[in-house]
Amino acid sequence: MSFIRRFFVFVALLVCCSFVFAIPGVEPKVDFPGTFVYYRDYTYEDETYIGFLQYDAGTYALRYFSPQAKKGAKSIELYITCDTTKDIVEMTGEKIVGEITQVDVETLNYLHDLFYELAARRKALSSKFDKSIRSAEDYPQFGGEVQINYEPFVPLFGLRSIISADKKPLFKLVYIGILNQGNEFTDFSGLQNPQNPKKQEISIKKYAKSKKVTLENFSFALDEQWVKDENQSDIQTWWLNNKENETVAMISPYFVSFPPEEKNALEQLKLVSLLSQNDSCIDFDSLSVSENEKRIQISTKINQPEEIVRSITTFYKITDTDYFVIAFSSEESIFSKNERYFKKIIDSAAQVKDR
């Protein structure tokens, strides 16, 4: 299953993403260089997406993409630079990639306005933006009174969605990516939902012999139906296979540590767990985040060309910058039919008491 590679990309990113940038006037939290976001823009009649990318402290890319556009360009890319000494967006240059016509000028102006306005609204949240926010705001570009939903783990503007007064979506997050990790900014070609997702079968033995897996000072319960991958030396992974010896689920525990000075470790963990790679796409409508002082669990569906995968990542807090993590993935139909079985394993993790 292709969700296997996703896990290893996750670990690699935690190692390499050790510094962040942000939009002018905003304290950086999760904006790793090369992160980008795409939103579905429902104000257009045709299927349309707006993307934002941050290259470095002062360089950004904006993209309009409308694969079925009846007039004008189907894709417009705009690259801008900003004065990094200012705490507001002040453009110092721009470059348009490709040819545009007079019809596209309105789209370019719209991209400019979005960038300025979303940056200003993000700045208004202040540097203490550390939890989900639902904000009633007046936004003329989107018809007046709207509800804007913000999340600290969303790059650039912290924006998850803009909803109309009558609860209709206007602007919704659909994709988070990072350059050179299986995708490029211009690779995004719209939401790819599997038309006929394959459904696998497996017979779970309810009374299979259980065993405890211990890593340093944490343990969790597995059973004999899971097979350990003996070819890995640095990361331990267990697979669950069906009768045809096809993998239908995986689970892998590991530890993550950040530098002592890192103040936003938890938000960075959330972001990296929600990145999409290659031809996979997070279903943000299915996203569920539960957290307390001891742990945070992120559950979501991942749409892939031929299947839907359920991903559940659980972070157990050891210190403010140290976490024990259990990464679980399964083909969705397998998970839905055996949810209690899988959740029992996932939630069995516990810190081993000192003897």
Using one digit for the tens of pLDDT, what is the confidence trace for 320-341?
Answer: 889 999 999 999 999 999 999 9
Highest averaged pLDDT of the listed ranges 65-74, 125-134, 223-232? 65-74
The confidence band for 4, taking pLDDT boundaries of 50, 70 and 90, is: very low
| pLDDT > 70? residue 291 | yes
On whether the CB atoms of residues 275 and 300 are closer than 8 A, the answer is: no
Among 11, 15, 19, smallest CA distance to 35 is for 19
Provide the CA 306 distance to its chain's centre, in angstroms.
Answer: 20
Range of weakest confidence among 248-252, 277-281, 326-330: 277-281
Task: List the strands of the sheet with 210-215, edge to edge.
Answer: 210-215, 218-223, 350-351
The H-or-E segment that residue 294 falls in is none
**Which sequence spans correspond to the domains of the chain?**
18-187, 196-351
CA distances from 17 to 9, 184, 267, 268 (A): 12, 17, 13, 9
Among 175, 186, 158, 178, smallest CA distance to 55 is for 178
On whether the CB atoms of residues 190 and 63 are closer than 8 A, the answer is: no
| Per-residue pLDDT, 18 | 46
Query: Based on the number of CB atoms within 10 Å of its own CB, is 95 exposed (0-12), middle (13-18) or buried (19 or more)?
Result: exposed
Which residues are paired to 303 by β-bridges? 281, 308
Phi and psi torsions of 344, nearest 5°: -65, -40
Does 33 or 251 have the greater pLDDT score?
251
DSSP letter, residue 259: -
Q: At a CB cut-off of 8 Å and minimum separation 6, what does 275 contact?
A: 9, 10, 13, 176, 177, 178, 181, 282
The confidence band for 87, taking pLDDT boundaries of 50, 70 and 90, is: confident
What are 165-196's pLDDT values in tens digits? 999 999 999 999 988 766 789 889 888 788 77
Does 112 or 56 have the greater pLDDT score?
112
The confidence band for 3, taking pLDDT boundaries of 50, 70 and 90, is: very low
The confidence band for 8, taking pLDDT boundaries of 50, 70 and 90, is: very low
Q: At a CB cut-off of 8 Å and minimum separation 6, what does 207 contact?
A: none
Handedness of CA 270, 163, 65, 195 (dihedral sign): positive
| Per-residue pLDDT, 21 | 59
| Per-residue pLDDT, 164 | 96
| pLDDT > 60? residue 6 | no
By percentage, how much of the chain surpasses pLDDT 90? 45
Looking at the whole model, is its pTM more than 0.85?
yes
The confidence band for 20, taking pLDDT boundaries of 50, 70 and 90, is: low
> Pairing between strand 49-56 and 159-164?
unpaired
Which residues are paired to 130 by β-bridges? none
Say which CATH topology domain 196-351 has: Protein Transport Mog1p; Chain A (3.40.1000)
| Per-residue pLDDT, 197 | 77
